[in-house]
């Protein structure tokens, strides 16, 4: 019974610490303040603002209730354990094991407490230099992320996809919808390297291929960014298809160039030109928002004397299929000796290792430079 008491006390102390890190008291004050504002007779005079306020209240209350409920459950178990009744031991052991799983899961929320970690995500994959080899690698990564999303209950949409000349893809843009999609996928930003015996080399030589992953939060209507129409160049073209009825006879696909930043967004998966234009503008706003956020972080880091940028030339992870089997994250040191599983979407261990290292160190930089070109 003493060991059970110790387990419950440890869990209680851990939860107290996590609640403090999340500033649950501050969030409770914020929820109370917004609730008071919602009682104002003029609150619904601006329906859009009022709706956002009510959503924030609901989100804050749900988070606070989850943590308070868990803490109460641990406290109840402690009180039962203090009775020192031998008949309660099996029940308490079962509860201790169940609570340990919940505490572990809830602790991840602290790692995913950034302002946009809970948002949907847009993930883009770009093949590096190397022609067919790199394009095949980019398609392997596309399959890996689609399988990860499916296994973890996320919805995906292919926003734009450009096939390679012989095999693979030159690039693909994927929308990932679900809770904490951006928070988990942020571990994947950067350059991914593959080492293998090339299936496209008649001499069966070992090749190294690179692909770059980009990511930004798909927060759509929450982005307050003004875009001047004069800064845009908009082109339309026919959507690509598999042939037959899938080939578009009209120009419904769209390409938008934001001239000041040289940012290009394309979209062809919607049914009409208007829908593709609206989605492309949403993505453009998200990309410009993310660029501005990273710019501010870089400026702050420069003031602090820290180098936190892992740019285009820095690989974050190596996937080695020959001469040995290993996937290694160069930022965290986390290793898997089963590349087949990783390439089938088993990415959660890499993601959690990244989040824990990020919280622990405050910064993560890839260890080596790659050969990829922009």
pLDDT of residue 301 exceeding 70, the answer is no
What is the token pair recorded at 141? Answer: 């990564």
Cβ neighbours of 305 (radius 10 Å): 6
The pLDDT assigned to 247 comes to 43
CA 44 to chain centre: 34
Reply yes or no on whether the pLDDT at 158 is more than 60.
yes
What pLDDT is recorded for position 335? 97
How many C-alpha atoms does 161 have within 13 Å on its Cβ side? 17
pLDDT at 308 over 50: no
CATH 3.30.70.1660 residue spans of the chain: 121-218+307-369
CA-CA distance, 190 to 193, in Å (whole number)? 10
Distance CA 352, CA 332 (A): 10
**DSSP result, 19-43:** HHHTTHHHHHHHHHHHHHHHTSTTG
Class of domain 2-111: mainly alpha
Instruction: Give strand pairing partners of 124.
Output: 173, 214
- Using the 8-state DSSP alphabet, how is residue 175 labeled? E
Q: What is the pLDDT of residue 108?
A: 80
172 falls in which pLDDT band (50, 70, 90)? Answer: very high
Which DSSP string corresponds to 338-372?
A: -HHHHHTT--HHHHHHHHHHHHHHS----SEE---
* Nearest-10 crossing angle of helices 47-81, 24-38: 140
Q: What is the pLDDT of residue 371?
A: 41
Question: pTM for the whole thing?
Answer: 0.68
Paired tokens of 105: 């899961």
% residues pLDDT > 90 (the chain):
48
Rounded Cα distance, 56 and 130, in Å: 47
The pLDDT confidence band at residue 300, using thresholds 50, 70 and 90, is very low
Query: What's the pLDDT at 148?
Result: 98
pLDDT value for 2: 82
> Regarding the domain delimited by 121-218+307-369, which CATH topology (the fold level of the hierarchy) does it fall under?
Alpha-Beta Plaits (3.30.70)
Where in the chain do CATH 1.20.58.410 domains reside?
Answer: 2-111
pLDDT class for 328, splitting at 50, 70, 90?
very high
Upper half-sphere CA count for residue 50 (Cβ side, 13 Å): 10
pLDDT digits (tens, 9 = 90+) for 205-261: 888 999 999 998 887 655 567 788 889 999 888 776 544 444 444 678 889 999 999
Asked if residue 333 has pLDDT above 80, the reply is yes
pLDDT-derived band of residue 369, with 50, 70 and 90 as boundaries? very low
Give residues with Cβ within 8 angstroms of 307, minimum separation 6.
Answer: 301, 365
Query: Percentages helix, strand, coil for the chain, rounded to the nearest 5?
Result: 50, 20, 30
Which pLDDT score is estimated for 250?
A: 62
Of 143-157, 199-213, 349-363, which gets the smallest average pLDDT?
349-363
Q: Give the C-alpha separation, 370 to 310, whole Å.
A: 11
Rounded CA-CA distance 280/286 in Å is: 10
In the prediction, which pLDDT does 198 show?
87
> Of all residues in the chain, what percent carry a pLDDT higher than 70?
86
Q: Residues 6 or more apart from 4 whose CB is under 8 A from it?
A: 81, 89, 92, 93, 96
pLDDT for 372: 41
- Scan for tokens 């209950």, then name that residue: 153
CATH, domain 229-304, list 3.40.50.920, 3.30.160.20, 2.60.40.650, 3.30.43.10 = 3.30.160.20
Q: Where in the chain is CATH 3.30.160.20? A: 229-304
pLDDT computed for residue 302 by the predictor:
52
Handedness of CA 190, 196, 199, 203 (dihedral sign): positive
Candidates 128, 148, 146; CA nearest to 137 is: 128
Calpha distance 22→17 (Å, rounded)? 9
Q: How far from 197 is each of 152, 204, 284, 324, CA to CA, in Å?
A: 31, 6, 38, 11
In this prediction, residue 240 carries a pLDDT of 63
Is 373 or 71 the better-scoring residue by pLDDT? 71
- For 38-93, the pLDDT digits (tens) are 999 999 999 988 998 998 899 899 989 999 999 999 999 999 999 888 889 999 99
Q: Which of 7-21, 255-269, 302-316, 327-341 has the highest mean pLDDT?
A: 327-341
Q: What is the pLDDT of residue 75?
A: 95
Average pLDDT, the chain: 84
């Amino acid at each position: 019974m003493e060991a059970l008491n110790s387990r419950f006390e440890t869990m209680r102390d851990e939860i107290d610490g996590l609640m403090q890190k999340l500033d649950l008291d501050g969030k409770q004050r914020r929820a109370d303040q917004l609730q008071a504002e919602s009682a104002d007779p003029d609150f619904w005079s601006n329906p859009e603002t009022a709706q956002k306020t009510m959503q924030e209240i609901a989100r804050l209350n749900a988070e606070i209730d989850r943590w308070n409920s868990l803490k109460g459950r641990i406290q109840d178990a402690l009180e039962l354990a203090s009775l020192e009744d031998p008949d309660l031991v099996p029940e308490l052991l079962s509860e201790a094991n169940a609570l340990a799983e919940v505490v572990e899961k809830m602790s991840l929320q602290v790692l995913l407490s950034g302002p946009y970690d809970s948002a949907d995500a847009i993930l883009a994959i770009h093949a590096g230099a190397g022609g067919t080899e790199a394009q095949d690698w980019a398609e392997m990564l596309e399959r890996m992320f689609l399988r990860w999303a499916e296994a973890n209950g996320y919805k995906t949409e292919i926003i734009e996809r450009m096939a390679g000349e012989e095999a693979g893809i030159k690039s693909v843009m994927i929308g990932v919808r679900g809770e904490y999609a951006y928070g988990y996928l942020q571990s994947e930003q950067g350059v991914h390297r593959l080492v293998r015996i090339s299936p496209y080399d008649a001499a069966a030589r070992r090749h190294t291929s690179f692909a770059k992953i980009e990511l930004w939060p798909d927060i759509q209507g929450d982005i307050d960014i003004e875009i001047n129409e004069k800064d845009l160049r908009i082109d339309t073209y026919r959507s690509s298809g598999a042939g037959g009825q899938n080939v578009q006879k009209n120009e419904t696909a769209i390409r938008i160039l934001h001239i000041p930043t040289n940012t290009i967004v394309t979209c062809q998966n919607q049914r009409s030109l208007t829908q593709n234009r609206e989605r492309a503008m949403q993505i453009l706003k998200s990309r410009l928002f993310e660029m501005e956020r990273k710019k501010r972080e870089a400026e702050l880091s420069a003031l602090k004397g820290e180098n936190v940028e892992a740019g285009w030339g820095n690989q974050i992870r190596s996937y080695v299929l020959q001469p040995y089997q290993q996937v290694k994250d160069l930022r965290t040191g986390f290793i898997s000796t089963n590349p087949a599983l990783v390439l089938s979407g088993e990415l959660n261990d890499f993601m959690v290792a990244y989040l824990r290292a990020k919280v622990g160190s405050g910064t993560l930089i890839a260890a080596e430079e790659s050969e990829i070109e922009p």
